[in-house]
Amino acid sequence: MLAMEYRGPKRVRAVQKPMPEIKHPEDAIVRVTRSCICGSDLHLYNGNVPDTRVGSTFGHEFVGEVVEIGPDVTNIKVGDNVIVPFNVSCGRCYFCQQGMFGNCHQANAMATAVGGIFGYSHTAGGFDGGQAEYARVPYANVGPTVIPPGMDLDDAVLLTDVVPTGYQAAEMAGIQKGDTVLVFGAGPVGIMAARCAWLFGAGRVIVLDKEDYRLEFVRNYAPCEAYNFEEIGDPVLFIKKQTDWLGADCVIDAVGAEAAGNVLQTITGRKTLLQAGSATALHWAINAVKKGGVVSIVGVYGPTDNLVPIGNAMNKGLTIRGNQTSVKRLLPRLIDHVQSGRLNPKALITHRLPMEEVADGYRLFSAKLDNCIKPILIPPTVTK
């Protein structure tokens, strides 16, 4: 089968690989019909996630048709079209039982701090991902959810990560009616977080990024106020002035380790890996939130350390929340939001590429070329 393959930092290609096999009685094999490239893949692509082995297939955002099931799979059947949450989760461990499907304790042997994630290095369980024609889906009774009749596959594939992550970012921010919510990052996740902030009753939503085309998009889509942080001077000071000098009530970090905006952070976090990614957005978030406010982190950082003003977090009495999204927990609510028209995920998709052109897709999305917001890959077996 055709699959994306990692060869080293900023080097990927499409190759022929052996078909995935059932390795566990609760496995299923899914024929992929849509697969996205995500901001999270960029951390892998740039070589910044430890234990990313050459030959890995990435891809944690995919939907597809079930073509084979293990003997213990009862919740889905061959022929079902399913949304596959990006988390691998057993559904019965201490954490899954609390709805923390992003923190399953039976899905990642290699790191206890990280849950199991499809196509996300051995630090996230070593599973091959869905940027391929077929994928092995463990614990198929738990994650995969049948796509409701009539739902567009483009909407469905964004329910595997982008929509739930944007939503959980807003949820973790503890937004109270009327709150001013500040979102760092106008990538797919930040855009969705800004949109979802309104669902929780925000009174004002402000987004900062440096890509004008993304700011333009989010300004209309969320809708919200949106500013280019390269044009407003010190972004923290700018936000203080915008918020009666108090700071935003809630701040969301939807940027993570590839953040721009601070040379020291970029050199130590992205170029030399002295820290686990550049923490510029998180640094700004802690300083731009009001005292007693909430910082919600969905931006991904590596497993070592980051330079952030933790002393300010203490002095300001902040609450800091973060997580890998618990996709499975949120799916019923979000499917409803999509079906009722409150959320329109597929509007984010700007590029559709045949899977053979995966290397171009990564470059396009990574370098923010051709006004790219969200690229999806279409496997050759897919006709529509």
Partner 1 sequence: MQTQRIDYTQINGWGVDADPENDPTYPMQHREDAPPRDIFYDRPPQQPITVEVLHSIERPDVTAVFGATLPPTGLSGVIRRFAFKYSENEYKHWLPLILADRVDVVEGVLKDLAHGHVPNIFAEKGYAVEWKYNRTAFVTKMATIVAVTVGTILLLNSGKDKKSKRK
Candidate segments 32-40, 195-203, 286-294, 302-310, binder of ligand NAD by CB under 6 A:
32-40
90 scored as a contact of Zn ion (CB under 5 A) = yes
Of 57, 165, 242, 287, the one binding ligand NAD (CB under 6 A) is: 165
**Are residues 218 and 194 in contact, defined by beta-carbon separation less than 8 angstroms?**
yes
**292 interacts with, out of ligand NAD, partner 1, Zn ion, none, CB within 5 to 8 A per kind:** partner 1
CA distance 339 to 150: 9
Scan residues 219-278 and list those touching ligand NAD (CB under 6 A).
229, 254-256, 259-261
**321 interacts with, out of partner 1, Zn ion, ligand NAD, none, CB within 5 to 8 A per kind:** partner 1
The residue (of 40 and 81) whose beta carbon lies closer to ligand NAD is 40
Closest approach of ligand NAD to the CB of residue 300, in Å: 3
CA distance 231 to 237: 13
Closest approach of ligand NAD to the CB of residue 22, in Å: 27
Prior bond of 223 cis (ω within 30°)? yes
**198 interacts with, out of Zn ion, ligand NAD, partner 1, none, CB within 5 to 8 A per kind:** partner 1
- Residue 116 tokens read as 């199991």
* Three-state secondary-structure class, residue 99: coil
185 scored as a contact of ligand NAD (CB under 6 A) = yes
Structure-token match 């009616």, residue found: 177
H helical segments located in the chain: 39-45, 153-158, 162-172, 188-199, 212-221, 235-242, 263-266, 280-288, 310-315, 327-339, 358-366
**Are residues 280 and 265 in contact, defined by beta-carbon separation less than 8 angstroms?**
yes
40 scored as a contact of ligand NAD (CB under 6 A) = yes
What DSSP character marks residue 147?
Answer: P
299 scored as a contact of ligand NAD (CB under 6 A) = yes
143 scored as a contact of ligand NAD (CB under 6 A) = no
Scan residues 144-203 and list those touching Zn ion (CB under 5 A).
161
